[in-house]
A = this chain, B = another copy of it.
Amino acid sequence: MAERGLIAAIREMLGPAGPDVLVGSGDDAAVVRPRGLQVTSVDTQAEGVHFDRVTHGPDDIGHKAMAAALSDLAAMGARPGEAYISLALPADVEEADALELARGLTAEAEQHGATVVGGDVIAAATLVVGVTVVGWLGEGERPVRRDGARPGDLVGVTGRLGGSGAGLRSLRASAGNEEAERAHRRPVPRLEAGRALAGAGASAMIDLSDGLATDAGHVAAASDVAIALHLDALPLAAGVTPEFAATAGEDYELLFCLAPERWDDAAAAAGVELTRLGRVSEGAGVVLLGPGGIQVEGLRGYEHG
Contact = CB atoms under 8 A, between A and B. Distances in A.
A289 interface: no
A31 interface: yes
A29 interface: yes
B26 A222 contact: yes
Contacts of A134: 38, 40
A45 B122 CA distance: 7
Interface in A66-107: 72-73, 75-76, 78, 82, 84-86, 88
Contacts of A137: 31
Contacts of A50: 122
Given A23-B143, A50-B122, A130 B86 contact: yes
Interface string A185-209: 0000000000000000000011100
B28 A206 contact: yes
A23 B147 CA distance: 11
A223 to B, nearest CB: 11
B38 A38 contact: yes
Contacts of A48: 124-125
A226 to B, nearest CB: 20
A179 interface: no
A118 interface: yes
B40 A125 contact: no
A217 B304 CA distance: 44
User: Interface majority SS on A: helix, strand, loop or mixed?
Assistant: strand
Contact of A120 (B26, B27, B42, B206): B42
Interface in A113-129: 117-120, 122-126, 128
B44 A39 contact: no
B46 A124 contact: yes
A8 to B, nearest CB: 11
Interface of A: 22-23, 26-34, 37-50, 72-73, 75-76, 78, 82, 84-86, 88, 117-120, 122-126, 128, 130, 132-135, 137, 143, 145-147, 205-207, 222, 304
Given A29-B40, A33-B38, A40-B132, 18 more contacts: A23-B76, A27-B147, A27-B222, A28-B41, A28-B75, A29-B76, A30-B39, A31-B37, A31-B137, A33-B37, A34-B34, A38-B134, A41-B84, A44-B130, A47-B124, A47-B125, A120-B130, A126-B128
